[in-house]
Chains A and B, each alone.
Chain A
Amino acid sequence: MLAPNSDLMLVYAAFAVLAMFVASGLAAALHRRKNVAFLIGLPLLVIDTALFLSVFAGGSSTTLLGIFGMYPFSTLFAALFMASGTLIYLISYRYSNDFTGFSALFGFMLVGVIGVAASTSLVTTVVGIELVALSTVFMIILDGKSRVEPAVKLFILGAIAISVLLFAVAMVFSYNPSLLLSGFTAPGLTTGSYILTLAIILFVAGFSFEASLFPFNLWVPDVYQGAPTNITAMLAGMNKKVAFVAIMTTFFVLLSKYSATFSPIFELLAILTMFFGNIMAFVQKDVKRLFAYSSISQAGYILIGIAVADSFGIEASIVQIAAHMFMIIGAFSIVLWLESRGLRSIDDYSGLGYRSKFAGISLSIFMLSMAGVPPLLGFTGKLLLFSSAVDKGMLILAGLGILNSFMSIYYYGKVIGSMYSKKGVGSGKLFANGYIIAAVAVCLAVVVLFGLYPGPIIHAASEASLSLFGM
């Protein structure tokens, strides 16, 4: 498929802008010019978001270098990741200890992210994931010596995960030496191809680590809590979502024939992950840790669509990924700002709604959206997920999902209740700075407006999902 020229130009432009961002980050890191990096980097990211969005809107498909595929699925995710990357860049400027170093690493990370989204080959996927993981480790360490522990945890466990993934790739290699995702032919599993079965298992395990699925996710709360909060926002808003994109491309393009085999596994993991996240969140006292567990449970919801394993399920997962991306980045932006004011635990948050109406209202909206209260975007995502499960006849999965989403209201309600209790009112008012306000405003706008009118986002997700299955 050859795209019309203008679309191809847009694709090239998008990659060129990304390269410019990487270069500007590196240059800034060499010269230690924080302001310059920000002033050049932020517009580049905004432009790149717009470029990828317009490529997506063009709706064409093309392949670059044989290993990058630009088709609606990949361009939609590229645009989403660029948008969330912009937000993270925005909040990091003020709060990162070494912003120039962060910029340089962030450029590499974005290359990895786009690589995974646009991957048409297992090599691209694995290299992209590794690029993302390594950059993240160094971003955490950059913040200071106290961050060594979470960084090393992430590094060691990430190394295990990547080796497991590579092992799986090696097994696929024996059937498919080109390692391209599409056009993979292998014997059916029932005919005794245990090697492929093992490959599927290792893929599930490796990706489950990246996507923080139970029981491969015990490290998540420690790292989320230990990392600087802007990196935590990135971990929850981008890294995890990248893993889901990798799961989608690997399982629904490469291994699409075996969906009857892996679908029950994902169903089981979805149920376990939802329950683990929600039950652990019940007993948390620290807000950052609470959001860590809450995003684990959200990963469980997203997995519902993957377990459903048809185009409707993937469509639902895409909507939920987009929704959670903006909800969690918005929420962590506020947590980041409040942390710098010394507010960490749920008790510290008491009376917050009176000390800062901005924080109270926006954090409440994000949490209500995560709990799935209409008419917010989180509700749309969950509605789609549960209806896709019902449509496929997976009533138990849908039922447990609904149960979980109501369970979550309890702990979100606890935070909201604390924010609007009178205890902390005595301490003075809090005022956010422009970076936080801008990032939160964008997230709020997405969550509320697309919640009220979800038509465009559902349409986009359905186009992306159909194109994934058409690969």
Chain B
Amino acid sequence: MLQALPLLSVAPLIAAALIILAIHRDRAAKYIALAGSVLSLIIITVVALYYVGGTYRVSWFSLQGYSFNITTSVLPLNALLLALVGIVTPLIFLYSFGYMDTKSEQSRYYFEISLFAAAMMLFAISGNFITMFIAWEMLGITSYLLIGFWYAKKVVPDAARKAISTIIIGDILFLAAIIVLWSAYRTLNISALLSIAGSTVYLKVALAFILVAAFTKSAQFPFNEWLSDAMEGPTPVSAFLHSSTMVKAGVFLVAILLPLYVKAGMLMPILAIGLITAIIAVMNALSEHHIKKILAYSTMEDLALMFIALGFNAIFAAMLLFVVQTFYKALLFMSAGSIMKATGEENIYKTYNFGFKTNKLLYISTIIGVLSLAGIFPLGGFFGKLGIDTSASSMYIYVALVAIDFLSSVYIFRWLYLPSRKDSYLSSFGYRTVPRSMLAPIAILAVLVLASGLAYFMLPMYYAAMPKFSIGIIDPLIETALVLAGLGIAYILYSRGRATHVDASSMEYKLLHNSFFINAFYVYLLKGIELLGEGFDALNDAINSVINGGAYSFILLGNALKRIENGSINTYAIAFAAGIVFLVIVFAMNLIK
């Protein structure tokens, strides 16, 4: 029975259930949620240390002689993701203590986010596609609720709807892939599929569907639009979404199925989409003004880099960035949330006085995060980006990747410098009053970011199947030089206050910022679908009015009949007759055949 322990790591699910029972007690909700997440961290620690390689299944239902199970498996990759989620969840919850200080909505918030965390943990340990699909759907729905948490604000419901509409595309395709895999191989167990599936057309179709599904979850081109809009959600949610959960699900799905992608020879599309997304994301990040959206585009870029590494079949490089990105991105989002809370401002051009003197702990931690993202030795980001760069198979891609590194260094230092400008007219009091419950997780994450470089040495010990890349001398030098150049350029452009807004009407803003008008395309597509619905309605009305005209003479028959013979009953009867004629024709055609 101890084998069932991994299933228990979804302890936040229990917390969510308790919260909804105690829904009238807003104050208890946060403690229940935190307790649930700490409990799951303890279980996850045990699982990740002692249960690696174990599987466990609970029979769910059987159908036509096949039994469908809820299966958990703790392969090394599962354990890795599970550990990341386990570590980040309590920190996010703790940060929420300070950040979500509105009195009334506490229980709803902690209910939704506990459910979300549980879904991600279930996803991390799922050993077959049924379990995985359930977790995947739960992730989609709870993320929709969380992004739309502040539904009373004007743009929020739209953002949430955009997220869910994009994600649903992935859901459909994921389900379609599952059906294809089932009908081809009669098993949905992931490790079984990894060993038995040959490179057939079924496999290719299923993998293509899964790839698109992963792209929707991980916000890759052309499904990248929802991620930046999703910044309308509360900041702890953004920090959670972008570090260890949700967007990582797509990368993880492709990573765990990577041997199949290699077998089917389908690495090229992963690489291509990754490159396109990385370029779009960096451009957007350079022109964005919203403090959180810059980080969102940065996440998009990091995910794209992971996909690029997967496209090179460099699983170690991908997973290394996967790990280190978790910590620095959670840290940076928490910093952004603290700055927003301190100044009440979301536009980095209107944010001032963020500095060492105003809040030491916050500032130092933020700098650690920024340096890691930019890729300064010996922080985790350095190893992560180096791994991606060195795995490049061709010179052109290497140059593109290095350019992306350089630009990301520019935008992240811009992100740091602009709020650090001094304006003595504005009060810096807000920075001093950031609550401790927000600073504590930031400090813990800063320590984790400092230590995350060790992942480069520890991952291969943990997971022997990942060959380590060698660091060499030239590559690190190039990278460091470019990062420093980015730092310098950003300093000259932004810190000294010479660069003002990018004009929103200028051509370069439009080009950089609109992701090549993907958004506009979706808007028109949706309009089209709505028009179709209205068209049907109009058609119905039109038919009705024609028949109404014909039926007008009946109205004279009397008051009693007047109420009934409003024409529509004729429509229905005529439709009935038309239906019979239609059936006759179809049958006749069948018979002639």
Question: Interface of A with B (CB < 8 Å)?
Answer: 148-149, 152-153, 156-157, 160-161, 164, 189-190, 197-198, 200-202, 204-205, 208-209, 215-216, 218-219, 222, 261, 264-265, 268, 279-280, 282-283, 312, 357, 368, 373-375, 380, 384, 386-387, 390-391, 398-399, 402-403, 406, 409, 413, 417, 420-422, 453-455, 458
Question: Interface of B with A (CB < 8 Å)?
Answer: 23, 60-64, 133-134, 137, 141, 148, 151-152, 157, 161, 164, 168, 171-172, 175-176, 179, 182-183, 530, 532-534, 536-537, 540, 563-564, 566, 568-569, 571-573, 575-576, 578-580, 582-584, 586-587, 590-591
| Contact yes or no, B575 A216, CB < 8 A | yes
- Say how far A203's CB is from chain B's closest CB, in angstroms: 10
* CB within 8 Å: A-B pair count: 128
| Contact yes or no, A265 B583, CB < 8 A | yes
| Contact yes or no, B587 A201, CB < 8 A | yes
| Contact yes or no, A421 B564, CB < 8 A | no
**Chain A residues within an 8 Å CB radius of B533:** 279-280, 282-283
Cα distance, A218 to B579, chains bound together (Å): 11
B108's closest neighbor in chain A, by CB?
A420
- Say how far A284's CB is from chain B's closest CB, in angstroms: 9
**Chain A residues within an 8 Å CB radius of B148:** 417
Cα distance, A208 to B566, chains bound together (Å): 24
Cα distance, A406 to B172, chains bound together (Å): 7
| Contact yes or no, B133 A374, CB < 8 A | yes
Q: From A164, A218, A399, A455, give the contact of B580 (CB < 8 A).
A: A164
| Contact yes or no, B182 A201, CB < 8 A | no
Q: Give the top 3 A-B pairs by smallest Cβ distance, nearest first.
A: A282-B533, A219-B572, A215-B579
A152's closest neighbor in chain B, by CB?
B564
Known: A215-B578, A280-B536, A283-B533. 7 other contacts (CB 8 A): A201-B587, A261-B587, A268-B586, A402-B172, A417-B151, A421-B151, A458-B61
| Contact yes or no, B536 A279, CB < 8 A | yes
Q: From B62, B161, B179, B578, give the contact of A386 (CB < 8 A).
A: B179
- Say how far B576's CB is from chain A's closest CB, in angstroms: 5
Q: Can you show 22 pairs from A to B with CB atoms below 8 A apart? A: A152-B564, A153-B572, A160-B573, A160-B576, A190-B591, A197-B587, A215-B578, A216-B575, A218-B571, A264-B590, A280-B537, A283-B533, A384-B63, A387-B63, A399-B176, A402-B175, A402-B176, A406-B168, A409-B168, A417-B148, A417-B151, A458-B61
A261's closest neighbor in chain B, by CB?
B590
B168's closest neighbor in chain A, by CB?
A406
- Say how far A152's CB is from chain B's closest CB, in angstroms: 5
- Say how far A28's CB is from chain B's closest CB, in angstroms: 31
**Chain A residues within an 8 Å CB radius of B60:** 453-455
| Contact yes or no, A373 B534, CB < 8 A | no
| Contact yes or no, B534 A283, CB < 8 A | yes
**Chain B residues within an 8 Å CB radius of A409:** 164, 168
| Contact yes or no, B573 A157, CB < 8 A | yes
Cα distance, A153 to B534, chains bound together (Å): 26
B23's closest neighbor in chain A, by CB?
A357
- Say how far B403's CB is from chain A's closest CB, in angstroms: 39
- Say how far B314's CB is from chain A's closest CB, in angstroms: 35
**Chain A residues within an 8 Å CB radius of B182:** 387, 390
**Chain B residues within an 8 Å CB radius of A215:** 575-576, 578-579, 582
- Say how far A147's CB is from chain B's closest CB, in angstroms: 11
Q: From B141, B530, B532, B576, give the contact of A216 (CB < 8 A).
A: B576
**Chain B residues within an 8 Å CB radius of A148:** 563-564
Q: From B168, B179, B590, give the contact of A398 (CB < 8 A).
A: B179
Cα distance, A372 to B161, chains bound together (Å): 18
A452's closest neighbor in chain B, by CB?
B60
| Contact yes or no, A390 B62, CB < 8 A | no
**Chain B residues within an 8 Å CB radius of A422:** 151-152
**Chain B residues within an 8 Å CB radius of A152:** 564, 569
| Contact yes or no, A458 B63, CB < 8 A | yes
Cα distance, A157 to B572, chains bound together (Å): 8
Q: From A205, A421, A454, give the contact of B579 (CB < 8 A).
A: A205
Cα distance, A209 to B573, chains bound together (Å): 10
**Chain B residues within an 8 Å CB radius of A264:** 586, 590
- Say how far B129's CB is from chain A's closest CB, in angstroms: 12
Cα distance, A463 to B125, chains bound together (Å): 35
Cα distance, A386 to B175, chains bound together (Å): 11
Cα distance, A399 to B172, chains bound together (Å): 9
| Contact yes or no, B134 A375, CB < 8 A | yes
A281's closest neighbor in chain B, by CB?
B533
**Chain B residues within an 8 Å CB radius of A201:** 580, 583-584, 587
| Contact yes or no, A390 B179, CB < 8 A | yes
| Contact yes or no, B183 A390, CB < 8 A | yes
**Chain A residues within an 8 Å CB radius of B133:** 374
**Chain B residues within an 8 Å CB radius of A373:** 137, 141
- Say how far B24's CB is from chain A's closest CB, in angstroms: 9
**Chain A residues within an 8 Å CB radius of B151:** 417, 420-422
Cα distance, A128 to B576, chains bound together (Å): 22
| Contact yes or no, B576 A209, CB < 8 A | yes
| Contact yes or no, A149 B576, CB < 8 A | no
